[in-house]
Amino acid sequence: MKKETFMDKYTIFSLELKKSEVKQQNVPEILEYFKAKVEAHPIAKFVGIFDHYTHTKAIDGPVMEGIIDAQNFLFCFGPAIPHHKILAVRPRIIGICEFEDKFTIDFTEAPKEELHDLMENWAKALKI
């Protein structure tokens, strides 16, 4: 997993997986994998899926060359609302992109280290 600063302000964690390294064949199968992880977690809640690729194509927006599919998996770990500003970092989003020969998994750093580690472990567990 690679940690980087994107656009000089966002801490992004990225994992690149060759298609030969995962059992999932496409983005919808990876989305189902993450949905199962969230549903098995005692406090996590599945929120939804945003098909970013279809949306962007429908408005004739530019898409990075090579991207075949790009979807966002939305979920929340939030067991409390200790401050109104916590809503700015919830829900969590995992971005999944498909290219001809690989998938990329990207997400921002979670406020709680143990939940961030869990997301990282979920992503890394895709590799067979």
Band (3; pLDDT cuts 50, 70, 90):
very high
Q: Sorting pLDDT into bands at 50, 70 and 90, what band is 125? A: very high
pLDDT of residue 98: 98
What pLDDT is stored for residue 89 in this prediction? 84
What is the overall mean pLDDT for the chain?
Answer: 95
The per-residue pLDDT for 21 is 96
Q: Where are the beta strands (DSSP E) in 7-76?
A: 10-18, 45-50, 69-76
- Chain centroid offset of residue 85 CA: 22
In percent, the amount of the chain with pLDDT more than 90 equals 88
Percent of the chain with pLDDT over 70: 100
**Exposed/middle/buried for residue 37 (C-beta within 10 Å: 0-12, 13-18, 19+):** buried
Q: Which amino acid would we find at residue 71? A: Q
Expressed in angstroms, the distance from the first to the final Cα of the chain is: 15
pLDDT of residue 111: 81
31-79 pLDDT, tens digit each? 999 999 999 999 999 999 999 999 999 999 999 999 999 999 999 998 8
What is the rounded distance in angstroms from the CA atom of residue 41 to the CA atom of residue 15?
22
Question: What three-state secondary structure class fits 88?
Answer: helix
- H/E stretch holding 97 reads strand 92-98
**Calpha distance 12→105 (Å, rounded):** 10
Please report the pLDDT score of residue 79 as a whole number. Answer: 87
Q: What is the mean pLDDT of residues 86-114?
A: 93
